Amino acid sequence: MTQYIKKICIFFLCLPFFVSSFTGTSLGAADWPSGPSVQAQGAILMDADTGTVLWGQNIHNQYFPASITKVMTALLVIETCSLDETVTFSHNAVFNVESGSSNAGINEGDKLSVRDCLYALLLKSANESANALAEHVAGSTEAFADMMNVRAKELGCTNTHFSNPSGLNNPEHYTSPYDMALIARAAFNNPIFEDIDSSTFYKLPPNSINKEGLTIYPGHKMMRKSTPFYYPGIIGGKTGYTTLAGNTLITCAEKNGMKLITIILKGSTPQYWTDTKNLLDFGFTNFVSLKAADYEKTYSSITSDLNFSGLSITRPEALILDPDSRIILPKTADFSDAKAELSYDISSGDPPNSIAKINYRYNDRVVGCTFLEVNDALFQNKEAETSIATAPQAETYSGSGEALDPSAAQTSVTPSGKRSEKETEDYREKALRPFEIPLTAWLILGSVGAITVIGCAAAFFIYWKHKEAQDFLIRREQRMKRLRDSGVSADEFNSILEQRRSSYSSKRKRRRGGRFR
């Protein structure tokens, strides 16, 4: 019992110092780089990996998007359809377009695959393809526009409303640079979209108008080496123009492990190409993208420390940092300049094994995040070992030949050699039992002393304040279940983090002179 009291006291006494270690402002962080001059009315430069806004101008103002709308159309179609589905072009799809607007020479009654239609949509900016895809997915262009608006809200857009799938003039069809960057980020993180949009040419199959088929090329001049606007590293993009929208442009480029997105709204010819080049040059020259797991020492040290302050983790390898999460920083900054903020607010879109999220801020600007995750490989290896050691038998015997309690026998396995899902959950629950704290320990805590009582009260408020919302209750249950599965108690986890944070802060002060270049 005294052991439990000791663990609880250590946890609550350390918690105020642990919390304060994540709220201090990083000293000496360099200023955020100043951006270039851009002539377009609305523009933004966003890091595709983290969603960090590196530079912006009127990023929440509303503008007409013109044909860059088709990026949202393509993303929604890809998320909804198989590429091999057949699309039949209706009279409305072919003729409900503005006279002289861009098209791919597709006629009423023609049939193309969804794949062909997407190439026509993104490379040739074909309005009839946009209409036909919308009808194929939703039954009508109006119903598809409703789906576009729902998807935009899911992506975080607050200044966007779509009324058609093509971007033709409509007073109720608008977006903002920031919203369009969110849409483009989702699109370029979709491998199918990126594969199609990065193509430099595509041969459409024969149809009633083009008997030999039609070879199409992207309208984005920065992708084509034959133009003076070519920019090395361009992944893809989409152009747009109407008399009301002016020139609009989406561009995605990648260099040195960094993926950037630019949006130009209400631009002018040919300046919008120059605006885009200046933004990309600014991003690649002044920033660097880092994998958090390669630099984060405060949390990654959990995987190597077995004991601290009387608390023991029997399986430290149960927790790992997400190996792919990145943060973006000015090249003049050090990783330690980014302030880490630990959060247990895990959402449905986060990695499924996450038990905590580490957000990074640089001069009050969010620059990325990473996740502490349960290491599934640990359980897979353990279950494989147990399956091999398990033999089908009716009873388990002790060395003296007496039958043991059936509950002490090995868990049975399925014919495939693996446990059932229920048996696996039972195994993980049993693995946690050594870390369970009896209720009596909490009752005895009240007699520890005034300092401990104050620490408990403060910790209780900090730990439970988010539980006022029902959705957080659900997420917390999921997180705690994953924590139990890992074999690590919450007391052990938080106490070790606190100590390692303090140790790392001391080391960081001694090497403040060093800078990441």
Residue 157's closest CA among 136, 191, 182?
A: 182
490-510 helix and 2-20 helix, angle to the nearest 10 degrees: 40
CA distance 501 to 494: 11
Give start and end residues of each alpha helix (H) in 237-318: 271-286, 292-295
Task: Report the amino acid identity of residue 6.
Answer: K
DSSP-derived letter for residue 316 is G
Q: Where are the beta strands (DSSP E) in 58-168?
A: 86-88, 111-113
70 tagged catalytic: yes
What is the 3-state composition of the chain as percent helix, strand, coil, each rounded to the nearest 5? 45, 20, 35
Paired with 397 in beta bridges are 403
67 tagged catalytic: yes
Residue 380's closest CA among 317, 338, 322?
A: 317
CA distance 80 to 68: 20
291 tagged catalytic: no
- H or E stretch including 79? helix 69-80
Task: Report the amino acid identity of residue 357.
Answer: K
DSSP-derived letter for residue 202 is E
Which tokens in the block code for residue 1? Answer: 């019992």
CA distance 107 to 95: 9
Which position among 7, 67, 102, 301 bears the catalytic label?
67
238 annotated ligand-binding residue: yes
Which position among 7, 102, 125, 129 bears the catalytic label?
125
> Which residues form the catalytic set?
67, 70, 125
Which residues line the annotated binding site? Answer: 238
- Feature table: binding site for substrate: 238
